[in-house]
Structure 1
């Protein structure tokens, strides 16, 4: 794993999920305490997810530290 990967309280690697990861992501966000962060690891930039995240009161920061690895750090607004 890249040393450039952001730190977070919780990590969800959706690359390991067989099938659509949306429910897993929403479950992880629902379990996120107001002072915690979630690091979402994906093989592509999850652009469609950004609007959903914002509508649910979260903000995000995305990095692409290596090919086929997108890191999205999600926190409460």
Structure 2
């Protein structure tokens, strides 16, 4: 791996608690990722709609419920096939 950080971490739990829409914050972080880099998202629920949105952008995901209102989701940007 190179020296550049391979992980970007975003926590939207406070945003959602304060009725702030977190979608732009998440998508701004996604735009900075390169192939094989990861976005770790902390959310108060399992964000099913986001899986489809980011899946179309080439991301896979793994989710884990850490507490009642704390989900950790790891999105990984897939390497682009160049043939």
- TM-score > 0.5, shorter chain as reference: yes
1:67 & 1:11 partners in 2: Cα distance? Answer: 20
1:72 aligns with 2:70: no
TM-score when normalising by structure 2: 0.76
Per-residue deviation, 1:57: 0.8
By relative contact order (CA 8 Å, sep 6+), the higher-ranking structure is 1
CA distance in 2, matches of 1:36, 1:76: 6
Q: What is the alpha-carbon distance in structure 1 between the residues aligned to residue 77 and residue 46 of structure 2?
A: 20
CA-based RMSD of the aligned residues comes to 1.4
1:24-35 alignment runs, 5 A limit:
24-35=25-36
Point out the more displaced range, 53-62 or 28-37: 28-37
The answer for unaligned runs of 5 or more in structure 1 is: 1-7
Normalised TM-score (structure 1): 0.82
Which of structure 1's runs of 4+ aligned residues deviate more than 4 A? none
Computing the radius of gyration from Cα coordinates, the structure with the larger value is 2
Q: How many residues align?
A: 70
Show structure 2 runs of 5+ residues with no match. 1-5, 79-83
